[in-house]
Amino acid sequence: MQGVTRRFGDTCAVDDLSLSVAVGEVFGFLGHNGAGKTTSVRLLNGVLMADSGDIRVLGLDPQTEGPQLRSRTGVLTETPSLDERLTATDNLTIYADLYGVPVQQVRQRVSTMLETFGLSDRGHEKVGGYSKGMKQRLALARAFLHEPELIFLDEPTSGLDPVATQEVHEMIRHVSQDEGRTVFLCTHNLVEAQRLCNRVAVMEHGRLAAMGTPKELAREIGTNVTYRLEVELEQRQAALDILKRTPSLMDVQFDDEALIFTSTDREMIPDLLTQIVSEDVRVYALTPQATSLEDIYLALHARKGHRQ
């Protein structure tokens, strides 16, 4: 996407959006409700037309080359439409035909997808009797059915139990790492994005707020760093007193085995360590904790709010 804008009346749902996704990566598309994620995905799939800008997906124009594009992409929407009057097997068989799966391969592909997503023993049942989680698994099976090069997944683990969620995560890793397929993942689940995504983009009010790897975003945004300090058990209170009187530290607390604190100034950490040691506190380890996507997201949101 390059300079893409889409309006609905006076509302600008997507505002001058530019982004690119590499082949074989899991790309996270993050943002609150109304941030522009769903509209962006509809633009990428040719469901909506942009007011301005250029869109290319797998080298194709979604508006003029939609059928060719849809044969090479899989889509899971947040509210997938399944024919509840039909069985799971019939649903997948119909879509296999629509996706252009060779006739001689349809039965095997349908069987494989039902097995992969834990529906083999329920494939003969009408979808109307399925639970929400089962419908979600069937929709995922449909998205992966024709072995697409690019897969758009909108909240793929919504309604799934922890075991099914883990299985979906493993499937996403497999198609990306082992098969070289590209996954465009829309999710509110920042832990999920942290586990799966090579890069992420964060949307705010239709605009791209940030894009990169979690490490790149942490560096760019300058988020505070959380540290874990391990000291002699009997000296933990002394270390705690030192930390609490240090101005640039906050959220100082104990966990089961160490002291945890957040620093707004990374440059002062060596001096802090020297101070602790000079007061005869035995230090075993001082370890920076990895910045999470949640930290980054909250920092972006706070920065945006401050600017407004």
Q: Above pLDDT 90, what percent of the chain?
A: 60
DSSP designation for 57? B
CA atoms within 13 A on the CB side of 140: 30
Position 306 scores a pLDDT of 43
Let me know the angle formed at the C-alpha of 203 by 198 and 209, rounded to the nearest 5 degrees. Answer: 85
For tokens 């990306």, the residue is 176
Q: What is the pLDDT of residues 39-55, one digit of tens each?
A: 999 999 999 999 999 99
pTM for the model: 0.76
3-state SS, residue 102: coil
Per-residue tens of pLDDT for the chain, all 308 residues: 999 999 999 999 999 999 999 999 999 999 888 889 999 999 999 999 999 999 999 999 999 999 899 899 999 988 888 999 999 999 999 999 999 899 999 999 999 999 989 899 999 999 999 998 899 999 999 999 999 999 999 988 887 888 888 888 988 998 999 999 999 999 888 888 888 999 999 998 999 988 998 778 776 765 677 888 999 989 999 999 999 989 888 788 887 789 988 887 778 899 999 999 999 999 999 998 766 777 777 777 666 554 44
Give whole-number Cα distances, 177 to 113, 117, 213, 277, in Å.
Answer: 19, 19, 17, 46
- Boundaries of CATH 3.40.50.300 in the chain? 2-219
For residues 110 and 97, give the distance between their C-alpha atoms in angstroms, rounded to a whole number. 11
The CATH classification number of 2-219 equals 3.40.50.300
- Boundaries of CATH 3.30.70.260 in the chain? 224-290
Identify the CATH assignment for 224-290 out of 3.40.80.10, 3.40.50.970, 2.30.110.10, 3.30.70.260: 3.30.70.260
Give Cα 105 distance to the centre of its chain: 32
Partners of 26 in the beta sheet?
Answer: 183
For residues 291 and 262, give the distance between their C-alpha atoms in angstroms, rounded to a whole number. 11
